[in-house]
């Protein structure tokens, strides 16, 4: 349980740091898109919220059941995904999940940030109150079954991955270059 608590604290710091940085950006830069198909910072945040909210719903349902144990192969695949997300490589949204987790077209930053605060607070409360065992509580479309601790590591890595994207957006937006 101590490992889960440490992970939850890191996720709290991660969110606080990212939102504090984004709050310093001029509003027109939050909505800046370097190309037509690219996401703005507000859209990236919208995507993060949708991923965490959707994952939390799956986890809540799965916790109430006695799901199968996550195997060593499942763990290896999940750790591979997590390592990939921790890199600065660009990763496409899985096609099977694209609609469900695609960002809103023009999300308002303040509203989206508030939604993320609520979603992550609920997610962390769920993680802290649940038993940290090796049962499957979520199946990622790319890597497969995950235990609760793997889900939380995935979500931490997912946000870290998008921090790289935010940095690319910051560098691409002329008004934010320092």
- The whole-number pLDDT of residue 65 equals 87
Calculate the alpha carbon distances from 76 to 4, 89, 143, 144 in Å: 19, 20, 9, 10
Contact 136, 77 (CB under 8 A): no
- The whole-number pLDDT of residue 98 equals 73
Calculate the alpha carbon distances from 136 to 3, 63, 133, 142 in Å: 18, 9, 9, 15
Domain boundaries, the chain: 1-20+40-89+116-159
**138-140 and 144-146 as β-strands: parallel, antiparallel, unpaired?**
antiparallel
Instruction: Give pLDDT tens digits for 73-91.
Output: 999 999 999 999 999 888 7
CA distance 157 to 7: 11
CA distance 120 to 30: 21
Contact 18, 153 (CB under 8 A): no
Structure tokens, 41:
């910072």
Question: What is the pTM (predicted TM-score) of this model?
Answer: 0.93
Contact 153, 7 (CB under 8 A): yes
- The stretches in the chain having pLDDT less than 70 are 1-2, 94-97, 175-178
- The whole-number pLDDT of residue 24 equals 94
């Amino acid at each position: 349980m101590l490992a889960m608590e440490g992970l939850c604290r890191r996720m709290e710091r991660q969110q606080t740091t990212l939102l504090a940085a984004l709050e310093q950006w001029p509003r027109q830069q939050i909505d800046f898109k370097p190309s037509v198909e690219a996401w703005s910072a507000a859209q990236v945040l919208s995507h993060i919220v949708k991923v965490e909210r959707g994952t939390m719903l799956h986890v809540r349902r799965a916790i109430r059941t006695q799901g199968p144990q996550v195997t060593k192969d499942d763990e290896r695949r999940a750790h591979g995904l997590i390592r990939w997300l921790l890199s600065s490589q660009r990763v496409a949204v899985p096609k099977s999940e694209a609609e469900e987790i695609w960002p809103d077209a023009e999300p308002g930053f303040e509203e989206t940030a508030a939604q993320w605060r609520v979603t992550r607070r609920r997610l962390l409360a769920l993680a802290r109150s649940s038993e940290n065992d090796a049962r499957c509580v979520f199946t990622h479309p790319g890597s497969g079954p995950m235990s609760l601790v793997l889900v939380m590591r995935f979500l931490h890595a997912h946000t870290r991955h998008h921090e790289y994207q935010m940095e690319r957006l910051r560098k691409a937006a002329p008004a934010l270059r320092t």
